Structure 1
Amino acid sequence: MAFLKHNGRAVCYRLLGDSAKPLLMLAHPLGMTQGVWDDMLPALLGKFRVLTWDLPGHGASAAWPEDSDRITPEDLAREALALAAAAGAERFHFVGTSIGGVIGQQLVSQHADSLLSATLTNTGAVIGTADAWNTRSANVLELGLSVMAVDIVPRWFGPAACEQQPALVEGWRVIMGRGDDRSYALLCELLGRVDFREKLGEHRVPLQLVGGSDDVATPPETLKALAQCSSASDPVILEHVGHVPSVECPDRFSQILLDTLT
């Protein structure tokens, strides 16, 4: 684990593997941490140097600065680019889930020259509604993440994962509850503003989309709509998987990346 000072904040990241191999950056979902990638690392490190990091106020990364009341996709994309630069990589493969996929869309639309490829999972050009995200933001600031996690975390995982891993929901409730309320709220507001439908029509980035058949947050229809506006192929929909394939089916997801990126 290491830390990068970026725009006055400490960003926690891990850089693993052989520096001679291509860099693969992995961006986690809202409310989670870079730990979502742990079960995929053994498979990926055979072919890639891997960089994971914690979003603002998540895991061990510092909260968003008090003097700034707005986070944009470009803020998060520039953070990713700063981490890639710290790793000595001019170009890299990018994988992002949920809000991590929003970071990926920003990179594709504004920083395509930095990307070798982008794999976006369980995300959308538009995710939910502004009213819903703004309501969640207000509730988090009033109640706190530890309270909100009780209802939010069970939506992340499909029934199969919950049956196979009985403590899965409880464990991620603890992790989410330890996050920074204000940073999470600002990221909710970001998701309420996101609309990439007119921004992804022309790009030169090899792009693949992956979703889960049991994802209630970004269902397959959301991925299919993203495919239509981004000129991507039809998304790969993983059966019996919810919102977080890196946790629910790490072996299957790793194989998809190895098959397509190598």
Structure 2
Amino acid sequence: MAFLKHQGRTICYRLLGDINKPLLVLAHPLGMTQAVWDDMLPGLLYRFRVLTWDLPGHGASSAWPADSAEITPEDLASEALTLARTAGVSCFHFAGTSIGGIVGQQLVSKHPGQLLSATLTNTGAVIGTPEAWSQRAQDIREKGLATMAEGIVPRWFGPAACEEQPALLDGWKVIMGRGDDNSYALLCEMLGKADFREKLAGKNVPLLLIGGTDDVATPPESLQALAQFSDTSEPVILEQVGHVPSVECPKRLTELLLKHLL
């Protein structure tokens, strides 16, 4: 791991692989950490230099300032762009899941010239409703992540992954519970406001969309709508996969990424 100061905060990141290979930046889902990509790294590093990072208040990255009223998609895109500059490149491939897909949409909409490609998984131009995200933020502030993880984490994974890995839910509950409550709540409020429906068309960024049949948070319909808004081909929908394919089917997701990026 490495650490970077950005706008007064510390960001934890990993930069792995051959400096001469194209850079692939990966953004993780809400409540998780950059560890979601670990099982994909051997396959990806064969072709790419890979950069992952922890979002605000997640993993080993600093919490968002307590006196700040909001986090915006551009704040998170700025982290990705700063990290890419740290890696010494101005253009890069990007892949993100869930809120990581929102980061990707911000990059596509506002910084398309710096993207060689974008892969967005288990996300949407709009995710959920403002009311639901506002309630989630309120609950987190009142009850804390450790308590809320009991109900949130089971929504991430499909039945097949839970059966194959019996300790999967317990492990991610521990990880989520260690995050910063306020940062998570601010990110929930950001998701309640995020709307990319009119911002993605005509950007000329090669785009791949991926979803899962068992994803209850961003179901296949969410990805299909995103395909229409972004003028791209129909999404790839993975069978018996929930919200986090990098954990549930890392080999399959690696294959899809490599096919799209090469």
What TM-score do you get using the length of structure 2 for normalisation? 1.00
1:110 and 1:259 map into 2 onto residues whose CA distance is 26
After the TM superposition, which of the residue ranges 193-202 and 215-224 deviates more from structure 2? Answer: 193-202
Instruction: Percent identity, please.
Output: 73
| Regions of 4+ moved over 4 Å | none
Q: CA deviation at 1:86?
A: 0.3
2:121 and 2:149 map into 1 onto residues whose CA distance is 22
For residues 39-86 of structure 1, give each alpha carbon's deviation from its aligned partner in whole angstroms, at most 9, with x where no partner exists. 000000000000000000000000001221100000000110000000
Which residue is equivalent to 1:63?
Answer: 63
Equivalent residue of 2:21, what SS?
coil
Letter in 2 for 1:110: K
Are positions 1:242 and 2:223 aligned together?
no
Q: CA deviation at 1:202?
A: 1.7
Q: CA deviation at 1:109?
A: 0.3
Which residue is equivalent to 2:29?
Answer: 29
Gaps of 5+ in 2: none
1:206 and 1:256 map into 2 onto residues whose CA distance is 14
For residues 96-152 of structure 1, give each alpha carbon's deviation from its aligned partner in whole angstroms, at most 9, with x where no partner exists. 000000000000000001100000000000000000000000000000000000000
Q: CA deviation at 1:207?
A: 0.5
1:68 and 1:41 map into 2 onto residues whose CA distance is 35
1:112 and 1:48 map into 2 onto residues whose CA distance is 20
Gaps of 5+ in 1: none
Equivalent residues in 2 for 1:105-124, closer than 5 Å: 105-124=105-124
Equivalent residue of 1:15, what SS?
strand
Cα RMSD for the two superposed structures: 0.4
Letter in 2 for 1:231: D
Which residue is equivalent to 1:74?
Answer: 74
Equivalent residue of 1:3, what SS?
strand
Letter in 2 for 1:199: K
Q: CA deviation at 1:164?
A: 0.1
Which residue is equivalent to 1:97?
Answer: 97
Q: CA deviation at 1:259?
A: 1.1
Which residue is equivalent to 2:182?
Answer: 182
Which residue is equivalent to 2:38?
Answer: 38
Letter in 1 for 2:188: C
After the TM superposition, which of the residue ranges 213-222 and 62-71 deviates more from structure 2? Answer: 62-71
1:101 and 1:232 map into 2 onto residues whose CA distance is 15
